[in-house]
A and B are shown apart, each in its own frame.
Chain A
Amino acid sequence: DTAVSQTPKYLVTQMGNDKSIKCEQNLGHDTMYWYKQDSKKFLKIMFSYNNKELIINETVPNRFSPKSPDKAHLNLHINSLELGDSAVYFCASSPRLNYGYTFGSGTRLTVV
């Protein structure tokens, strides 16, 4: 059983489109995150949610909008996709903020 699952695994789309990435965790964790990993393999925090509430928003363009319908889910919607959005996006969860992360397998987004 996958603890943190993301869908889709791969996403290829044209500039200007709107797309969503879904994330679900079955670990009972209170905190969930979205990270972006660029071509240099550097992981950078985008958002953090604790019990469905946004607690960290790291200067991400407002084209990115996270949504947490419940504490087991954190989805990422991206409007007006740009070439620079191409990256691997990782969802993660932890029992409390910044402790004991479990990462998903990532979603490779390619904007053409």
Chain B
Amino acid sequence: KNQVEQSPQSLIILEGKNCTLQCNYTVSPFSNLRWYKQDTGRGPVSLTIMTFSENTKSNGRYTATLDADTKQSSLHITASQLSDSASYICVVSAGGTASKLTFGTGTRLQVTL
């Protein structure tokens, strides 16, 4: 059964600090992995997308890593800002003709003063 698990479930950090969110998956065959940011009351917005051959990808202060061998990904946020407060969702796509997305339950990040 394809599954995506994220940790921690929630996280509170001070503005300016760094943090790392984790995503473990058991999706097979693997096609790609994405990180989405979902602000309260809004739809998810894509941050990064990584395929099997990519180990790291950055989008501003967001850096995603992928270890396809251990089936783990992380999202590192540098110098956090109040506007980073949101849910971060890891989504893994299975390949093949039955292409399907499996969503994680997300990590709720709160950045405080």
| B-binding residues in A (CB < 8 A) | 4, 40-45, 56, 90, 92, 97-101, 103-106
Contacts and interface: CB of A to CB of B under 8 A. Distances in A.
A46 to B, nearest CB: 12
A58 to B, nearest CB: 9
Interface in B98-113: 99-101, 103, 105-106, 108
B46 interface: yes
B43 interface: yes
Contacts of A45: 100-101
Interface residues of B, number: 19
Interface of B: 32, 38, 41-46, 49, 87, 89, 93, 99-101, 103, 105-106, 108
Contact of A41 (B45, B87, B101): B87
A27 B27 CA distance: 29
B43 A40 contact: no
Contact of B105 (A40, A90, A97, A105): A40
Contact of A43 (B42, B45, B49, B89): B89
A104 B105 contact: no
